[in-house]
């Protein structure tokens, strides 16, 4: 009986010692998380303010992504999404610090993987925004050039160029998010190349009259001078 009591008292003493060692670390972690929460809020406000000064939401509206997102009555801005992602990234960094302090290595490892993934979301958003803007810009450039030389299919070519760049931006963004799109990307390149080859052949066959007309106009102008 005395032996069992000694075992119980030893276990109770060991538990008490572990608790005494754990409580200060827990309090320190709570303080770390509190300051992390404050810093995360400050960083979120700073990032949102910086994006507003850079007129990032105006670029998002011009690209059409913000209108697409708000089509479901979400009423969000891309600057708000990015600043919120940064907020949770900072929170995660402090939570990882706390988990390591409490020697919760498994939890810290999982949170580190999530923290590494969050910046990819920001990069993917930036790729979509600027990729869409580039697509629309190239649409105008290609259309203006083809229209200036009186190409009959200027609108079709410029629109195809815009859609091609937009789809490519989507694939690059998905790749940035770690979504396995290699096979689909390869198929897209093949199909996109085939479509442009078909368009080139069609324009080559259908553009002979246009080319002959352009040459005739140039010859007529030359004869006038």
Give 82-131 pLDDT, tens digit per residue: 888 889 889 888 888 888 877 777 777 777 787 788 888 888 888 888 88
* Rounded Cα gap, residues 144 and 158, in angstroms: 9
Single pTM value for the model: 0.62
Instruction: Sort residue 151 into left (φ over 0), alpha (ψ -120 to 50) or beta.
Output: beta
Cα distance between residue 148 and residue 142, in whole Å: 10
- The yes or no reply on domain 118-225 and CATH 1.10.287 is yes
Return the SS3 of 180: coil
Q: Which residue has the tokens 């442009």?
A: 196
Supply the pLDDT for residue 43.
Answer: 92
The reported pLDDT for the residue numbered 84 is 87
- Asked if residue 205 has pLDDT above 60, the reply is no
pLDDT digits (tens, 9 = 90+) for 121-179: 888 888 888 888 888 888 888 888 777 777 777 788 788 888 888 888 888 888 887 77
């Amino acid at each position: 009986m005395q032996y069992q009591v000694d075992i119980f008292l030893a276990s109770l003493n060991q538990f008490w010692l572990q608790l005494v060692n754990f409580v200060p670390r827990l309090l320190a972690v709570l303080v770390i998380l509190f300051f992390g929460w404050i810093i995360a809020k400050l960083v979120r406000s700073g990032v949102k303010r910086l994006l507003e000064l850079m007129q990032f939401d105006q670029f998002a509206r011009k690209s059409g992504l913000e209108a697409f997102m708000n089509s479901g009555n979400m009423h969000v801005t891309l600057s708000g999404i990015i600043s919120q992602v940064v907020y949770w990234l900072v929170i995660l960094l402090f939570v990882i610090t706390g988990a390591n302090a409490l020697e919760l290595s498994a939890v810290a490892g999982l949170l580190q993987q999530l923290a590494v993934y969050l910046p990819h979301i920001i990069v993917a958003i930036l790729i979509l925004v600027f990729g869409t803007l580039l697509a629309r810009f190239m649409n105008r450039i290609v259309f203006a050039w083809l229209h200036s030389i009186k190409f009959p299919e200027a609108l079709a070519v410029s629109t195809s160029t815009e859609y091609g760049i937009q789809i490519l931006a989507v694939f690059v963004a998905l790749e940035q998010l770690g979504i396995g799109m290699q096979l689909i990307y390869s198929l897209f390149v093949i199909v996109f190349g085939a479509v442009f080859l078909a368009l080139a052949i069609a324009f080559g066959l259908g553009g002979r009259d246009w080319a002959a007309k352009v040459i005739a106009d140039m010859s007529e102008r030359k004869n006038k001078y």
